[in-house]
Structure 1
Amino acid sequence: MSQSKIKLNATEEVQEFVNAASRCDFDIDVYYNRFLIDAKSILGVLSLDLTRELTVDCHGESREFDRTLKKFAVA
């Protein structure tokens, strides 16, 4: 399992993130505080407070998804 911190600022970024997550055949969770959401659910991700830094837990590996995570990574 790998963990990353990301920031999504616009609806288009959420859509790109969810589309990339949906192409993975393993579970991906997004959370902050006590709110845990399936990264493959666009409504779930949109329901999060996008002004916050989000934590992503990947339960598998994908080079394509890693590129998406790097794009939205928090420095």
Structure 2
Amino acid sequence: MITVKILIDSAEKVKKFSAILSKENVECELIEGFRIVDAKSVMGIFSMDLSKPIQLKIHSDNREILDHLKEFVVAGA
């Protein structure tokens, strides 16, 4: 399992993030406090507070997925 902090602070980034994850054959969630949403769902993403980093949990050990998401990953968060 991979867990990272990401920042998706615009509508354009939400669409791009969702499109990237939709191509991956893995389960993944965004977690904000007690709220958990499907990370592939545009509506789910928009229900989160996008002004600050959010935790992304990917149910895979394949770290190559992070290469596709590197523009969203927040270093040191």
Higher helix share: 1
- Deviant stretches of 4+, over 4 Å: none
Mapped contact 1:4–1:69 kept (Cα < 8 A): no
Give the secondary-structure state (helix, strand or coil) at the position aligned to 1:30: strand
Residues 30 and 54, structure 1, Cα contact 8 Å, conserved in 2: yes
TM-score by length of 1: 0.88
Aligned residues: 74
Percent of aligned positions that are identical: 28
Contact 1:24/1:62 (<8 A) preserved? no
Runs of 5+ consecutive residues of structure 2 not aligned to the other structure: none
Name the structure 1 match of 2:54: 54
What RMSD over aligned residues (CA atoms) do the two structures have, in Å?
A: 1.3
2:47 is aligned with what amino acid?
A: S
Q: TM-score, normalised by structure 2?
A: 0.86
Unaligned runs of 5+ in 1: none
2:30–2:57 Cα contact (<8 Å) kept: yes
Distance 1:10 1:66 in 2: 20
